[in-house]
Structure 1
């Protein structure tokens, strides 16, 4: 879950809307009339929002209100954030029993959003309440209020807790992206103030986590030493889910074809071939040339199914008219692979960069010949229309110049 979504004090959606209207119209009276609030409500809302953000959004004068430079930066993010609330409205527009779809932007609360997100994530009102440091009835009321607004039932009881509907999952995703945009807005304001204390959350796939990502992170921290960096590994599917929910900024590693989601963009950095990796005294290393048939007879360590590396492994043999090897241990952990190779005459198909340290220390050896057709596209996976902060943009630049 996005860190902003767990704060006790969260920006009020109507206050954010009011601030954007004041920015657009230039005075409180016009803004209040447009969003159907009293002038005092808008004035108090702006004051509270500025206190919560510790930020002056506007300069006051006899001629009206003028947005500050820092206010401009944050309100641009706020406008992007509110598009995700509008997306929620679109989700139920055709299903509403009312003559006019309800404007969730003016009715929802950030407390309801974070309650829904937590229940979807944990599958339990009790666990969600514990995570948010609230009582279970409080979380239940917040979700129930959101169900009433959307005229939907979001959860069904199951033996393990509660099971969210697809609408609840989609709402939770939109809510997570809403909070992610606001978090980036606060980071950009800090950048404007010269306080480079932003955050970076990187999903790192096997090749990238060995050298590529650590190298770029090290260089980044030399420039922006206070940046909070999280490097997350795990299955691609899990990382993709986190990226689409705004809980990761970028995934670095092998690209997928076709792209598994219409909401991502993939950027190619380089093509990386795979090599046969064995222990240094493996009989294979004494041969100048090895046939594909002989390679097929080896005991292999291979990546798990449905990964680009495993597909390359299988295609290498099928392209030669042979069935892929059957004596395979599936493993994606380099530590485990190294242990298996050192304890046996097994072979693994890996990128050379991934085992550079082991090879330089004499623990493992790389075959001297290239395996045709085993190259994989390595690059960046990003959310469509994602806008990085200055720190995040610098990290992407470092990755793009890695080679």
Structure 2
């Protein structure tokens, strides 16, 4: 009696027996360049050879992965799904090679850490000191970015853990723990503090200034927009959208009406430069908490677990000291 056919099992068998890693690299190259001629030039192959290779990959997956359009070759729905996992598989392979290289160099492993620019100096120092003072030593890769960028890096398996603002989006397998509360303050160029702090706190007046805000659709931008809306004021159109500290400092120093919002403890670590300072207002809300992020599959990893413990303990000491 014939058995029921399971397409998923058949596809899995085809992938295990026929799919090669270089074919995943080919798909990424096509997605990057969107024309086979450019892919052929990058891979130093003929265009017919690239066309044949793409047809072989599509035959393995049993689906058309790219279709021609006015914008060149664009992924189909199946192509998007395959590319999503191809990026993860290749990122995991790259991570494995880095770990093996670290082991061969006498290190005990490698950790990829993400940080936002508004992580307090004490937490950043605690994390890096904990990692770099380990014996035997490990290799550490640090990437800075917004919380959204760091979460994307975690999901893509390009990072092992991160310290950033709490994340309000949907990310499969993400584990986050709030570890530190921060008080916000309004920050302007140091020479402009007296002029811009006249009178009581007035969000309508502040909205008329030249704002430096995080990029659109980031957790912090959504928070700041909500503050203006809650005060009955239209969120301002910023003159600069960035989280880059040096860019923020430059504009605050040069523009007489420039203003932004910073965590007070982060600002305290930067004030000796003398280029910016907080306005003398106390805000009635807190910033989204600083959080420790990793993936469910990595939270029991010894290095990730010990780093989390060191960062959480440092955050507790900071809270006791502030109290």
Q: TM-score range, shorter-chain basis?
A: 0.7 to 0.9
Is 1:243 matched up with 2:154?
yes
- Shift in alpha-carbon separation, 1:115–1:212, aligned structure 2, 3 A: farther
Is 1:306 matched up with 2:217?
yes
- Quote how far apart the aligned CAs of 1:243 are: 2.7
1:111 alignment counterpart: 22
**TM, length-normalised to structure 1:** 0.62
- Quote how far apart the aligned CAs of 1:110 are: 2.5
- Quote how far apart the aligned CAs of 1:242 are: 3.4
Task: From 354, 370, 385, give the equivalent of 2:266.
Answer: 354
- Quote how far apart the aligned CAs of 1:163 are: 1.4
- Quote how far apart the aligned CAs of 1:233 are: 3.5
Is 1:326 matched up with 2:244?
no
**TM, length-normalised to structure 2:** 0.75
2:293 alignment counterpart: 381
- Quote how far apart the aligned CAs of 1:371 are: 0.9
- Quote how far apart the aligned CAs of 1:388 are: 6.8
Report if the CA contact (8 A) 2:146-2:164 is conserved: no
- Shift in alpha-carbon separation, 1:355–1:212, aligned structure 2, 3 A: same
Gaps of 5+ in 1: 1-89
Spell out, residue by residue over 1:126-146, the C-alpha distance to the aligned partner (whole angstroms, 9 max, x if none). Answer: 555666x55355554443222
Task: From 153, 159, 163, give the equivalent of 2:74.
Answer: 163
Is 1:174 matched up with 2:76?
no
Spell out, residue by residue over 1:176-214, the C-alpha distance to the aligned partner (whole angstroms, 9 max, x if none). Answer: 433455566677778999942533333333313977446
CA RMSD, Structure 1 to Structure 2 (Å): 3.7
**Distance in 2, Cα, partners of 1:270 & 1:189:** 34
**Distance in 2, Cα, partners of 1:125 & 1:196:** 41
**Distance in 1, Cα, partners of 2:237 & 2:95:** 48
Report if the CA contact (8 A) 1:276-1:367 is conserved: yes
Is 1:277 matched up with 2:277?
no
- Shift in alpha-carbon separation, 1:140–1:195, aligned structure 2, 3 A: farther
Alignment of 1:52-201 (within 5 A): 93=8, 101=11, 103=13, 104-125=15-36, 128=39, 135=45, 139-181=50-92, 195-196=106-107, 198-201=109-112
**Distance in 1, Cα, partners of 2:282 & 2:148:** 30
Task: Give the structure, 1 or 2, with the largest relative contact order (CA under 8 Å, sep 6 or more).
Answer: 2
Report if the CA contact (8 A) 1:187-1:197 is conserved: no
Report if the CA contact (8 A) 1:188-1:389 is conserved: no
Is 1:372 matched up with 2:281?
no
- Shift in alpha-carbon separation, 1:334–1:185, aligned structure 2, 3 A: closer
Report if the CA contact (8 A) 2:33-2:39 is conserved: yes
- Quote how far apart the aligned CAs of 1:240 are: 3.9
- Quote how far apart the aligned CAs of 1:148 are: 0.4
Report if the CA contact (8 A) 2:186-2:279 is conserved: yes
Is 1:231 matched up with 2:114?
no
SS in 2 for 1:229: strand
SS in 2 for 1:336: helix
**Distance in 1, Cα, partners of 2:108 & 2:270:** 35
- Shift in alpha-carbon separation, 1:280–1:200, aligned structure 2, 3 A: same
- Report the more deviating stretch, 185-194 or 348-357: 185-194
1:265 alignment counterpart: 175
- Quote how far apart the aligned CAs of 1:147 are: 0.8
Report if the CA contact (8 A) 2:112-2:161 is conserved: yes
Report if the CA contact (8 A) 1:211-1:354 is conserved: no
**Aligned residue pair count:** 305
